[in-house]
């Protein structure tokens, strides 16, 4: 056996695991901190705040008597409140609670008012959503939004001899189609003739001139999708696909059509990058894509995103605009996730769209390999998903606890301890069954 040959694979596995643990730990920490801080504000005392399960690796006790700890199994976490019989806060330690004074009992989850318990439970998922909104907002503020007028800030190298654009050019029209503002640019690109070179009218300094440059949407790889055919085949951001199965390919729309018509057959790509050519063979994957209006579209994809070969100048959006963008992104992820679950349940799309821990770990590693910004973005996406799942009305999840609290609000009393135990067992069975199903997808799905 070639032991040295295993080192890169082993290193990749460690990187994937590390990325997964970091992403999960951040999300769990925010989720559990939501429970903790709202519980504290509501007068409920937290005895233990744990990141991970199992043997304790490190702990300290703060001035309020809460033990903060890291445990050996970093695949989750919990907050154990005063009087809880377990970390799930589903049942109380009856013997302990019965011996408490009224003031001490008020500091337990079971002895707190209904509003305090419901707020503490709901805070976990809400903090996950807040994390997502904040991250999306900060990222859009750091990246900026395209500013008016449309001005070239930087050019990506392309395999063309004639690129008349220069940094600082203000683009006024392309192929005779006027660009009135940034919003009109996407409409113009959709109407451009499918030719490799076009005439651009630009304002350069104090003069207006016509230059020849490539179509804005070439076959430049702008980003890669995790766990995609392109990433598996070793394509990189900055690659330019010049041919598919020997046929020259200049425009991204042509590339999209060729991949879509492949019917899953292997494709041989000619790839250019920084003056060097290489051959890449990959097989498109069948993917269910969420549509803006709802529902899904099934297409053959290789997992790359295109864009313009010039980077436009940007400006930093205002705080409220950025927060609005962050909220929109979070809502879109929630809607897409719910739509995906519904379409899987009714058989409209493949159940392979549901990933388990292996798939999420692989995605974590793939995204982390593309850079810190992409990894932070992925954490925000995953945080939204975790918050949403925890709101499902299943016992053992936060949504199940909220259902119990709603029952108490209507009936005037909480479910009996016996009923709680039965429902917790049922809920745990449902959650474990779902996890096993998702894990089987990781193993069996292509």
Active site residues: 32
Angle between helices 114-143 and 372-390 (to 10 degrees): 160
Three-state secondary-structure class, residue 273: strand
DSSP string of 421-436? HHHHHHHHHHHHHHHH
**Percent helix, strand and coil across the chain, each rounded to 5?**
45, 25, 30
- Distance, in Å, from the CA atom of 391 to the CA atom of 166, rounded to the nearest integer, reads 51
Host H or E run for residue 55? strand 46-61
- Distance, in Å, from the CA atom of 200 to the CA atom of 216, rounded to the nearest integer, reads 10
- Distance, in Å, from the CA atom of 206 to the CA atom of 102, rounded to the nearest integer, reads 80
Residue matched to tokens 């609670």: 97
On the 0-12 / 13-18 / 19+ scale of CB atoms within 10 A, 235 is: buried
Pairing of strands 207-214, 223-224: unpaired
Strands (DSSP E) contained in 97-157 are 145-146, 152-155
The gap from C-alpha 444 to its chain's centroid, in whole angstroms, comes to: 23
Contact 218, 305 (CB under 8 A): no
Three-state secondary-structure class, residue 16: helix
The CA-atom distances, in angstroms, between 104 and each of 13, 83, 100 are 48, 10, 6
Q: What residue spans of 261-356 are helical by DSSP H?
A: 319-345
Closest CA to 124 of 324, 321, 391: 391
- Distance, in Å, from the CA atom of 252 to the CA atom of 306, rounded to the nearest integer, reads 7
- Distance, in Å, from the CA atom of 177 to the CA atom of 150, rounded to the nearest integer, reads 14
Q: Which residues contact 211 (CB under 8 A, 6 or more apart)?
A: 164, 165, 169, 199, 200, 202
Three-state secondary-structure class, residue 187: helix
**Paired tokens of 250:** 């200049």
Contact 382, 246 (CB under 8 A): no
């Amino acid at each position: 056996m070639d032991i040295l040959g295993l080192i890169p694979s082993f290193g990749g596995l460690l990187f994937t695991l590390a990325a997964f643990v970091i992403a999960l730990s951040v999300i769990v920490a925010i989720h559990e901190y939501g429970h903790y801080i709202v519980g504290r504000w509501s007068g409920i005392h937290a005895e233990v705040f744990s990141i991970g399960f199992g043997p304790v690796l490190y702990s300290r006790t703060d001035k309020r008597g809460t033990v903060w700890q890291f445990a050996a199994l970093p695949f989750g976490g919990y907050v154990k409140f005063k009087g809880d019989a377990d970390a799930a806060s589903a049942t109380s330690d009856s013997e302990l609670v019965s011996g408490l004074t009224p003031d001490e009992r008020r500091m337990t989850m079971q002895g707190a008012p209904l509003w305090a318990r419901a707020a503490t439970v709901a805070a976990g998922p809400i903090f996950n959503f807040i994390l997502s909104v904040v991250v999306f907002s900060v990222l859009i503020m750091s990246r900026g939004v395209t500013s008016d007028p449309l001005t070239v800030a930087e050019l990506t190298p392309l395999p063309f001899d004639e690129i008349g654009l220069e940094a600082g050019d203000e683009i006024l029209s392309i192929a005779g189609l006027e660009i009135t503002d940034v919003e009109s640019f996407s409409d113009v690109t959709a109407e451009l003739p499918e030719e490799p070179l076009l005439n651009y009218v630009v304002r350069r300094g104090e003069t207006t001139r016509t230059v020849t440059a490539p179509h804005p949407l070439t076959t430049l790889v702008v980003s890669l999708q995790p766990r995609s055919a392109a990433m598996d085949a070793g394509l990189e951001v900055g690659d330019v696909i010049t041919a598919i199965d020997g046929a020259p390919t200049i425009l991204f729309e042509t590339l999209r059509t060729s991949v879509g018509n492949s019917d899953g057959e292997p494709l041989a790509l000619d790839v250019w990058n920084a003056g060097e050519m290489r051959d890449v063979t990959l097989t498109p994957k069948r993917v269910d894509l969420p549509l803006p209006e709802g529902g899904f579209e099934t297409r053959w994809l290789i997992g790359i995103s295109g864009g313009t070969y010039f980077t436009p100048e940007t400006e930093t959006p205002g705080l409220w605009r950025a927060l609005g963008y962050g909220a929109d992104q979070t809502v879109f992820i929630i809607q897409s996730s719910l739509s995906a679950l519904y379409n899987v349940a009714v058989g409209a799309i493949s159940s392979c769209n549901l990933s388990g821990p292996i798939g999420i770990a692989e995605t974590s590693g793939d995204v982390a390999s593309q850079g810190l910004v992409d990894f932070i973005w992925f954490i925000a996406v995953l945080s939204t998903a975790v918050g949403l799942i925890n709101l499902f009305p299943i016992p053992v999840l936060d949504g199940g606890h909220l259902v119990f609290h709603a029952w108490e609000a209507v009936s005037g009393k909480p479910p009996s301890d016996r009923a709680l135990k039965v429902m917790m067992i049922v809920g745990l069975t449902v959650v474990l069954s779902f996890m096993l199903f998702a894990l089987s997808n990781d193993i069996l799905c292509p």
